[in-house]
Amino acid sequence: MTTSNRRVLLAQRPTGLPTPADFRIDEGPVPDPRDGEVLLQILYLSLDPYMRGRMSAAKSYADPVEIGGVMEGGTVARVVRSRHPDFVENDIVLSHSGWQSYAVSNGEGLRKLDPSHAAVSTALGVLGMPGFTAYAGLLTIGRPKPGETVVVAAASGAVGATVGQIARIKGARAVGIAGGADKCAFVRDELGFDAVVDHRAPDFAVQLKAACPDGIDVYFENVGGHVWDVVFPLLNPFARVPVCGLIAQYNDDPAMASGPDRLPGVMRDVLTKSLTVRGFIQREFTDQRPTFYEEVGGWIREGRIKYREDIVVGLDKAPEAFIGLLQGRNFGKLVVQVAT
Ligand code: NAP
């Protein structure tokens, strides 16, 4: 065990796309656990789009990270010292320890992981918060029926990949939207979506319409922006739209919103097509977690759900990797390997 704790701090609040100057890396002493606490060594750090919101002081569903504070994030960690009755050295746990190499915890919110059950990094992806988001949002709000068409963007990512595969398990047709030829090939050939369209193609709108000849019954919204504009006219009467994320808009300043006002047209269709547009934050469905672990865990073991991880080695790489995530440079669930 080293004697220093490396941490990635928020140096300043970004304007637009974050830059490396918005982060600061520092080195401090490894904290000492007191009675009732454990010392955790972080093995994997999850990088997720919501972290852009935590860097901003704009009002949201969660408090921002303070300037000078450790960047927030989900982690998989090893217990390296325990003064807590429920944990022993070498336990592997899911924690929310943030962008650093060591952390102290009083045990609250820690979940023990069984490395023989699944690769422990999956607790941050397909068997963690993003997979659960896909499962709960699609099944509770989207409610796909056999034969219906489900469309999801960011389809090669942690949430989108799971959405499309669950849609197919439920007998629906899954159409993915992804950025670039490699991601599209993966979504179609590896994940088994029925069709996939590249949102960067100049004729994206024409291609999406052709891929959805019967219209769209469920649109699982992950990105917003130009993708929403193209999807929206294709929605069928009584379509359901779980609004999960708007990553294309996370770097926008809400006070500077520009462009034509589309709201009247959107509201007209919400009314005349009896659409259900419902935003959600995954934690509102926490009571579904046990069913999720059982069902999705089973589908992974049966080979019916596949996943891809994009693992970046070294905590110092986290800022650059996170900036890349906001531009679509990740390919699969983005995880930083902090230690082995
Ligand atoms: P991810 O798909 O692994 O990575 C983000 C992807 O978004 C990128 O790879 C890129 O894919 C796409 N993207 C980035 N910028 C874009 C832009 N300007 N226009 C269009 N696409 C862009 O991320 P994830 O963890 O699965 O998250 C997906 C969405 O779910 C995010 O919006 C996230 O905020 C949301 N989410 C919500 C909840 C909730 O509780 N509501 C929980 C978890 C995640 P392409 O290159 O394929 O375009």
DSSP structure string for 128-151: SHHHHHHHHIIIIII---TT-EEE
CB neighbour list of residue 58: distance below 8 Å, 6 or more residues apart: 254
Q: State the distance from the centre of ligand 1 to the C-alpha of 290, rounded, in angstroms.
A: 25
**Whether the CB of 179 sits within 6 Å of ligand 1:** yes
pLDDT at 152 over 90: yes
- Number of the ligand 1 atom closest to the C-alpha atom of 333: 3
Reference 78, options 66, 61, 95, 53; nearest CA is 95
pLDDT number for residue 256: 72
Q: Does the pTM exceed 0.85? A: yes
Task: Write out the DSSP string of 214-250.
Answer: T-EEEEEBS--HHHHHHHGGGEEEEEEEEE---GGGT
Domains of the chain: 4-125+308-337 (3.90.180.10), 129-300 (3.40.50.720)
**Whether the CB of 183 sits within 6 Å of ligand 1:** yes
Q: State the distance from the centre of ligand 1 to the C-alpha of 323, rounded, in angstroms.
A: 12
Q: How many whole angstroms separate alpha carbon 76 and alpha carbon 118? A: 13
| 3-class secondary-structure state, position 219 | strand
pLDDT number for residue 2: 66
Reference 191, options 307, 300, 292; nearest CA is 307
Q: Tell me: the pLDDT tens digits for 181-209?
A: 999 999 999 999 999 999 999 999 999 99
One-letter amino acid at 102 equals: Y
Reference 221, options 196, 244, 195; nearest CA is 244
Q: What percent of the chain has pLDDT over 90?
A: 94
**Whether the CB of 154 sits within 6 Å of ligand 1:** yes
**Whether the CB of 164 sits within 6 Å of ligand 1:** no
pLDDT number for residue 260: 80
**Whether the CB of 236 sits within 6 Å of ligand 1:** no
Q: What is the mean pLDDT of residues 265-277?
A: 96
Q: How many whole angstroms separate alpha carbon 130 and alpha carbon 123? A: 9
Q: How many whole angstroms separate alpha carbon 200 and alpha carbon 239? A: 25
Reference 207, options 229, 174, 186, 230; nearest CA is 230
**Whether the CB of 38 sits within 6 Å of ligand 1:** no
pLDDT number for residue 177: 98
Q: Which residues are 174's β-sheet partners?
A: 150
pLDDT number for residue 262: 86
Reference 24, options 90, 71, 82; nearest CA is 71
